[in-house]
Amino acid sequence: MSNIVCIGSGNMGFALMKGASGSGTVNGANIYFTDADIEKAKSASVSLNANIVKTNTEAAEKGDFIFLAIKPQILAQVLAEIAPAAQKRLSGGNPPVFVSMAAGWSIDKIQTTLGAKLPVVRTMPNTPSLIGKGTIIYAVSPEVSEKNIKTLEKILGGAGIADKLEEKYLDAVTGLSGSGPAFGYLFIDALAEGGVKAGIPKDKALQYAAQTVLGAAAMIQETGKQPQELIDMVTSPGGTTLAGLSVLKDCAFKETVIKAVEAAWKRAVELGN
């Protein structure tokens, strides 16, 4: 089995390692965590019956796949630290595959900072990966072998749906599926508050709102119908849905959501610069 080292043990890194441990491709014995906060790494490792390494350099020496689960603002520092070990492994014919989830950081920029054309995968997962319902979009450099791509798909697939895409779309994906869960949570919260104003107990309103959005999403996925077709199925002339949709239209709901995705996308580009 491949050894996976995760540099960073926050929510997203832990989510992908949790998914990997349940994928059948690796188990806890093949997973290693490291973190600037070593106690945090220990806590993550205990949860998955995994291991820890104490330094980033050791991580670069040990992993077949090295997940960079760290903030874009400190990625340059970490890459500079592990570059000598990575270059040595490349020279020896055993390069690790670096899997980055740092928003805005291109494959070329990662390779340039590492100082060599090492195999790099750029990913954009989202937080539902914590429960195996994530959307994990990824792009690969030419140095990543087909064998490693297949292994990576199994690793990522344990946390949700993994889909390969051209890198030029990754910043936009960050704005859509990377940030999108937060927009969805806000909408669910608003639906629930509307229900409370109409007299539904708060706990019930939240339960109904979440299930309603979950069901609506499933309708799109499972019927193959376009959103507008499904809207028309719910909407009757002079009915309750039309009354609510009219308010959303007056408040520029759709246009506002589009602007939110665009703002997140532009911020991803800025982080890469």
Residue tagged 């995968």 (tokens): 121
Pairing of strands 51-52, 65-68: unpaired
| Contact call for residues 20 and 155 (beta carbons, < 8 A) | yes
Residue tagged 């760290």 (tokens): 70
State the pTM of this model.
Answer: 0.89
d(CA 235, CA 14): 42
CATH of 4-165 given 3.90.79.10, 3.50.50.60, 3.40.50.12780, 3.40.50.720: 3.40.50.720
Encode pLDDT of 218-251 as tens digits: 999 999 999 999 999 999 999 999 999 999 999 9
Length of the chain, in residues: 273
Mean pLDDT of 163-191: 96
Pairing of strands 120-124, 134-140: antiparallel
Q: Check residue 177 and give its pLDDT.
A: 95
Q: Check residue 271 and give its pLDDT.
A: 82
Encode pLDDT of 71-115 as tens digits: 888 999 999 999 999 999 999 999 999 999 998 899 999 999 999
Mean pLDDT of 148-164: 93
Encode pLDDT of 128-147 as tens digits: 999 999 999 999 999 999 99
Domain assignments of the chain as residue spans, ordered by start: 4-165, 178-272
Mean pLDDT of 110-131: 95
- At the top level of CATH, the class of 178-272 is mainly alpha
pLDDT of 272 over the 90 cut: no
pLDDT of 118 over the 90 cut: yes
If pLDDT is split at 50, 70 and 90, which confidence band does 191 have?
Answer: very high
If pLDDT is split at 50, 70 and 90, which confidence band does 25 have?
Answer: confident
pLDDT of 273 over the 80 cut: no
Provide the β-strand partners of residue 5.
32, 66
Encode pLDDT of 31-83 as tens digits: 999 998 888 899 999 989 999 998 999 999 998 999 999 988 899 999 999 99
pLDDT of 261 over the 90 cut: yes
Q: Check residue 103 and give its pLDDT.
A: 87
Residue 240 is encoded by which pair of tokens? 């309750």
Residue 43 is encoded by which pair of tokens? 């806590």
pLDDT of 22 over the 90 cut: no
pLDDT of 2 over the 90 cut: no
Q: Check residue 23 and give its pLDDT.
A: 74
Give the number of other CB atoms < 10 A from CB of residue 7.
29
Of the candidates 246, 247, 218, the one whose C-alpha atom is nearest the C-alpha of residue 230 is 218
d(CA 261, CA 273): 19
- b/e code 58-91 from CB counts within 10 Å (16+ = b): bbbbbbbbbbbbbebeebeebbeebbebbbebbe
Angle between helix 253-272 and 180-197 (nearest 10): 150
